[in-house]
Amino acid sequence: MKVATDVLLADPVFQLNVVLWTVQPLPPTAPIEPVLRRAGYELHAVGPPLPAAPSARPALLMLVGSADAPKPDVVLAHHTDPSFLVVECKAQGFGSGGAGERQVVKLLAAAHSLNGPLGLPVNPDRPGYVAYLTVAPEHSMLLVTLLGAQERLREEGVAPGGAGTLGLHAEDDGVWVDAGQVDEWPPPAAAALANRVRIVSFSSPGEDPRPFYLIPWVPDVAGGQDPQLAAFGKAVLGANVLNAAKSAVGRADVPGPVVMRMDRLLHDATLGVTDFWRDRDDYRLLLRACQDFVARPLRGIESRITLVVSSGPELVQFTLPSETVRDEVLALLHGASPAAFEPSGTATLFDVQ
Amino acid sequence: MTTAEGLLPELGSRREYFDYLDGWSAGTVDALAEGQSPRALVKTYMLETVRDGHDPRALADRFPRSRVRLQPVDDESLFEVHDLAAGGIVGLIEVVNERHPVLYTQLPAAQSDAWVRRTVDASPWLDRLWLAAPTLSQLWEYVKASADPGRYTRMAFEHEAFYDRDDLMALPIDDEVDAAPNVLQAEDAPQVERRTSRSMLVERIGVISESLERLAETYRPFHSLVQLQLPAAGRGGHVLYHDGKVTNRSDSFADHRQQVVFVTDVYRRLTEAAENLLWFSAEASSAGGGFRLRGAPVFMRFSSPLSAATFERWLSAVFERRPNRFRLSGYVFRLAETKAHISAIDHHLWQPLLLEVSAHHLLAVLPAGTCGNTIHRLVTNVQRFLDPAVEAWLGEERYEDAVATVVKEELAG
């Protein structure tokens, strides 16, 4: 599946995974440069809600009409520097007055001190530095929006957190990230990003820049993705679900029953990320889609394996009378198309604006 | 006391069995020294089960019960292995540590190799130990440090450029599957023309020590170490194979067993340290909501890029053909001619594995719970069939350095 590089660079799932890889332990010969890990950062949280201090909420209500907690994509912590990096990924830049800026204002208000939002001891003070990642050169315009939001907060007597932007662009040798002016970034990040950094290396010009996706599908951003990329993420999740089902079948005692719990299957298929999805009603819709997806290939032999699909969305169960039937079930699951997975619902992981 | 086929007699206790194997070892090695070997050597097969707490099955239930029955001897650490088809005791299983039972047998090699292969293949709860070249290389460092340089050892190197073949997909499945363990001994195997390197050195430790590095610099297959003889405390030694087999070529079963325990302990430390580092999973952040992802990838950098044709053949053979040498299958998402993301599953242990493969590298993500043995097998197979000089990393640490660390820890007690 060939996708234009500029479409990929603006894709929020691509951006999220690139950020995740910048703090993973990788050898020097890997095609991804874990630039922030080498600067001393590690992943603190994905999608944490960051409620602003109670004292800032009246001002937030007045400025943006809500004091709800924003949920940035990623928060990174440093081994020694007290400042967190609060990273938010965006397909493009934006100006003032829209939903994007409302999120900026709330993030900046919360970032002044993250001790409260992250449930940390009162001392020492742990501020946040808000970094928006988008495509270059839009990050330059976005910086103007962030600085403007800081100013609006100050005018209302709310001290904002620091703010900066990162721009992605591709060249023949890879994907580069540019932070522009880094004077006000926390020192370790400033040192790492003072010069533009190649974070994905190509072995030949025009190579597909996608790193391996640790989170291939994010329900609340899928609707806004390029359709081809949304389908890709969904199919990867579908493949992981099928493999989780095959794992349960392959390890079952024969003859004997196989009982698959859909929440467990999704847990296994997503490295446990679905355990943290919010909006339980929508999560149930996802479980139902998963149940239908796993049971569908087995319908042709349902009487032979006594297939039972629970009326609730929790279970698919059947019996394996022999090794031959086990092989047949495995072959049916293997032959299913991952692209046929149609997860429904919009369980939320992040803010979508 | 025994049958011609190498079945063990029924004895009453651990001591009687070990005395029997000790006597058998001495007699066999004496015969070898005289140039006659009417008897089969005692062989050990080191096996992998699962990490403590990851499966409640008893050891006996991890073997295919329709054919194999384990009968305790004295206590639950030693078992007679009754094979219904063979009609007797094919060997003894000792639980040298909870994760790694080992099989002692005196069946002829062809029979014992086939028995172990058949048994392991039939159970998703059993695997062999996979001693990848970096592991054997670190054990070679141990040999140099622990034996007189004047002692003899033997080392074997093997690389088969299996995926360079144009006719790969036309091969019968048996040829694809037959990874030919211990192929250096398979003198009667049919000869197939492909780029294959098999070399054996039998030489003094000091002499090999002086020349091995230079050999590997000039000829890449010398990176792919598949056999190493650990010198015994007395005469002879114990030949370790990459697939977890150990042949006792010493005159002491007690010494043989000690070396086996040492290697399995090193392997267990390595596997569990790797699992602790590698297992990817989401977990709650300390407070305030959100989650973090813990884990590290396995990364392999090929010493030179695979050709587009080799890459294609490898991908097709492994993920479109079942069974295959890597014992994997999966759903391949092609991103470019020589780059793909793969949702894979290990057909042996039925555990998922997430891969990125390109002409330049292989990156693997292990979901929490996936047995670390899968990684050892992957490294071993890449080295044997794709690139003898591949460089493997566990996160930021070279695989070889990780092995060196656990060998040091084991030696320090």
Contact between B124 and A250 using a beta-carbon 8 Å cutoff: yes
**Between chain A and chain B, how many beta carbons pairs sit less than 8 Å apart?**
164
Residue A350 banded pLDDT, cuts 50, 70, 90? low
> How far apart are the C-alpha atoms of B134 and B388, rounded to whole Å?
11
Mean pLDDT over residues A242-247, rounded?
A: 96
Kindly provide the residue ranges of all beta strands, DSSP E only, lying in B234-315, ordered along the sequence.
237-241, 245-248, 281-284, 291-294, 298-301
Residues A207 and A259 in one domain: no
What's the gap in Å between the CA of B309 and the closest CA on chain A?
A: 17
- Closest residue of chain A to B329, computed from CA coordinates: A334
What's the gap in Å between the CA of B200 and the closest CA on chain A?
A: 32
Show Cβ contacts of residue B392 under 8 Å, excluding neighbours closer than 6 positions: B132, B134, B298, B299, B300, B379, B382, B398, B399, B400
What's the gap in Å between the CA of A275 and the closest CA on chain B?
A: 8
The range of the structural domain enclosing residue B227 comes to 133-268
Q: Give the pLDDT confidence of A56-86 residue by residue, as tens digits.
A: 999 999 999 999 999 899 999 999 999 999 9
User: Does the beta carbon of A1 lie under 8 angstroms from any beta carbon of chain B?
Assistant: yes
Residues B379 and B357 in one domain: yes
What does the pLDDT read at residue B179? Answer: 47
**Looking at the domain assignment, is residue A219 inside a domain?**
no
Residue numbers in A near B286 (CB within 8 A) = 118-120
Nearest to A266 by CA among A238, A307, A292, A246: A238
In this structure, the strands spanning B298-301 and B391-394 are: antiparallel
Residues A276 and A329 in one domain: yes
Q: Please provide the DSSP assignment of A130-194 as one string.
A: EEEEEETTHHHHHHHHHHHHHHHHHHTT-PPPEEEEEEEEEETTEEEEE----TTS-HHHHHHHS
**Looking at the domain assignment, is residue B6 inside a domain?**
no
Residues B302 and B399 in one domain: yes
How many structural domains does chain B have?
Answer: 3
Residue numbers in B near A38 (CB within 8 A) = none
What does the pLDDT read at residue B33? Answer: 62
In this structure, the strands spanning B152-160 and B127-128 are: unpaired
**Looking at the domain assignment, is residue A242 inside a domain?**
yes
The last residue of one of the domains, among A167, A186, A214, is A214
Residues A265 and A235 in one domain: yes
Residues A231 and A210 in one domain: no
Angle between helices A138-155 and A57-64 (to 10 degrees): 120
Residue A352 banded pLDDT, cuts 50, 70, 90? low
Mean pLDDT over residues A109-118, rounded?
A: 95
What does the pLDDT read at residue B6? Answer: 87
Mean pLDDT over residues A171-175, rounded?
A: 94
**Looking at the domain assignment, is residue B47 inside a domain?**
yes
Mean pLDDT over residues A304-325, rounded?
A: 92
Q: Of A95-109, A202-216, B281-295, where does mean pLDDT reach its minimum?
A: B281-295
**Looking at the domain assignment, is residue A351 inside a domain?**
no
B residues 118..177 contacting A (CB < 8 A):
124-125
Residues B260 and B372 in one domain: no
> How far apart are the C-alpha atoms of A209 and B250, rounded to whole Å?
55
Residue A176 banded pLDDT, cuts 50, 70, 90? very high
Residues of chain A with pLDDT > 70, as a percent, come to 95
> How far apart are the C-alpha atoms of A57 and A106, rounded to whole Å?
9
> How far apart are the C-alpha atoms of B12 and A94, rounded to whole Å?
82
Mean pLDDT over residues A48-52, rounded?
A: 92
Q: Give the pLDDT confidence of A178-198 residue by residue, as tens digits.
A: 998 888 999 999 999 999 999
User: Does the beta carbon of B65 lie under 8 angstroms from any beta carbon of chain A?
Assistant: no
In this structure, the strands spanning A128-135 and A162-171 are: parallel
In the numeric block, which tokens belong to residue B398? 């070279």
User: Does the beta carbon of A301 lie under 8 angstroms from any beta carbon of chain B?
Assistant: no
**Looking at the domain assignment, is residue A348 inside a domain?**
no
> How far apart are the C-alpha atoms of A253 and B68, rounded to whole Å?
16
Residues B242 and B368 in one domain: no
Residue A43 has pLDDT above 80, yes or no: yes
Residues of chain A with pLDDT > 90, as a percent, come to 77
> How far apart are the C-alpha atoms of B76 and B401, rounded to whole Å?
35
Residue A345 has pLDDT above 80, yes or no: no
pLDDT in tens, chain B (413 residues): 445 478 999 998 999 999 999 887 766 666 666 655 556 789 999 999 887 766 777 888 889 888 999 999 988 899 999 998 888 999 999 999 889 999 999 999 999 999 999 999 888 889 999 999 999 999 999 999 999 999 999 999 998 888 877 766 666 555 554 444 444 444 344 444 556 788 899 999 999 999 998 888 888 889 999 999 999 998 899 999 999 999 999 989 999 999 999 999 999 999 999 999 999 998 887 666 678 889 999 999 999 999 999 999 999 888 876 677 788 999 999 999 999 999 999 988 899 999 999 999 999 999 998 899 999 999 999 999 999 999 999 999 999 999 999 999 988 87
**CA B152 centroid distance within chain:** 23
Q: Is the ipTM of this complex over 0.85?
A: yes
- Closest residue of chain B to A76, computed from CA coordinates: B292
Residues B19 and B81 in one domain: yes
- Report the SS3 class of residue A305: helix
- Report the SS3 class of residue A298: helix
What does the pLDDT read at residue B127? Answer: 92
Kindly provide the residue ranges of all beta strands, DSSP E only, lying in B316-408, ordered along the sequence.
328-336, 339-346, 351-358, 361-365, 391-394, 397-398
Phi/psi at B362 (nearest 5 deg)? Answer: -135, 130
- Report the SS3 class of residue B131: coil
Residues B137 and B260 in one domain: yes
A residues 162..221 contacting B (CB < 8 A):
203, 207-208, 210-214
**Looking at the domain assignment, is residue B180 inside a domain?**
yes
**Looking at the domain assignment, is residue A221 inside a domain?**
no
Nearest to B352 among A25, A244, A249 (CB): A244
How many structural domains does chain A have?
Answer: 2
**Looking at the domain assignment, is residue A203 inside a domain?**
yes
Residue numbers in A near B307 (CB within 8 A) = none
The last residue of one of the domains, among B205, B237, B268, is B268
Beta-bridge partner residues of B204: B152
Q: Of A27-36, A107-116, A334-343, where does mean pLDDT reach its minimum?
A: A334-343
Residues A267 and A329 in one domain: yes
**Looking at the domain assignment, is residue A350 inside a domain?**
no
**Looking at the domain assignment, is residue B1 inside a domain?**
no
Residues A63 and A162 in one domain: yes
The last residue of one of the domains, among A214, A242, A260, is A214
In the numeric block, which tokens belong to residue B389? 């000089």
What's the gap in Å between the CA of B320 and the closest CA on chain A?
A: 11
**Looking at the domain assignment, is residue B5 inside a domain?**
no
A residues 44..73 contacting B (CB < 8 A):
44-50, 71
Residues A199 and A250 in one domain: no
- Closest residue of chain A to B351, computed from CA coordinates: A247
What does the pLDDT read at residue B229? Answer: 96
Q: Find which of A1, A276, A324, A327 to mutate to test the B interface (most B CBs within 10 Å of its CB).
A: A276
**Looking at the domain assignment, is residue B397 inside a domain?**
yes
Mean pLDDT over residues A98-116, rounded?
A: 95
What does the pLDDT read at residue B153? Answer: 94
**Looking at the domain assignment, is residue B381 inside a domain?**
yes
> How far apart are the C-alpha atoms of A16 and A91, rounded to whole Å?
11
> How far apart are the C-alpha atoms of A37 and A41, rounded to whole Å?
5
Residues A164 and A37 in one domain: yes
> How far apart are the C-alpha atoms of A86 and A132, rounded to whole Å?
8
Beta-bridge partner residues of A253: none
A residues 259..278 contacting B (CB < 8 A):
268, 270-273, 275-276
Residue A281 has pLDDT above 90, yes or no: no
**Looking at the domain assignment, is residue A28 inside a domain?**
yes
The last residue of one of the domains, among B128, B163, B183, is B128
Residues B169 and B234 in one domain: yes
Residue numbers in A near B361 (CB within 8 A) = 29-31
Residues A15 and A46 in one domain: yes
Nearest to B343 among A207, A210, A240 (CB): A240
Residues B260 and B379 in one domain: no
The last residue of one of the domains, among B268, B288, B322, is B268
Residues A169 and A299 in one domain: no
The range of the structural domain enclosing residue A271 comes to 227-340
What does the pLDDT read at residue B284? Answer: 82
Residues A300 and A201 in one domain: no
**Looking at the domain assignment, is residue B388 inside a domain?**
yes
